[in-house]
Amino acid sequence: MTTAVDPVDAGARDARPPAIVVRLTSTIMRPLLRSPIGRLITPLAVLEFVGRRSGTRHRVVVGWHRHGAESMVLTPATWRANFENGHPATVFWGGKRSTLVGVLDTDPSRVATVLNALLEAGGSARALALHIPDGHTLDAADVSRTNRAVIRFDRADATSHTT
């Protein structure tokens, strides 16, 4: 007798903490990351940006990932749409303030490649807010299921963008 495997259980799943935990943690971390203490908290950063359509100022605590010379955020959050076609942001990371331009990439295959590269470089699935079964390599279906996208950041003077 064979058992059917639920395809959702066969791949990666979202593992974000509950919203109340995120709100509480963000409230505590936002001022710390903007201060000199932030240099001790390198897995996290604060992004400050103005919404493209709303004009609302956003201050978001994010997981900050570096791979080679690239700095990036991987997120399922809806605010990521502000970075489509490039958008400026002030980033507080490692105790420093930088003006960068973020460019959103939602292509599931490319995002899966980025996620796998971070994991192969020693990153943890937990730091990416994912649950990944042992031995599983992320693919486009996992990225679509978990609604992940990557925002790559570069110096404002090194990136051409439209706002």
For 42, how many CA atoms within 13 A lie in the half-sphere containing its CB? 6
Best CA proximity match to 162, nearest among 67, 85, 64, 79: 85
Write down the pLDDT at residue 157. Answer: 73
Give the model confidence (pLDDT) of 67-118 as tens digits.
Answer: 989 999 999 999 999 999 999 999 999 999 999 999 999 999 999 999 999 9
Give the model confidence (pLDDT) of 120-140 as tens digits.
Answer: 999 999 999 999 999 999 999
Domain ranges of the chain: 7-158
Write down the pLDDT at residue 162. Answer: 45
Write down the pLDDT at residue 161. Answer: 46
What is the CATH code of the structural domain delimited by 7-158?
2.30.110.10
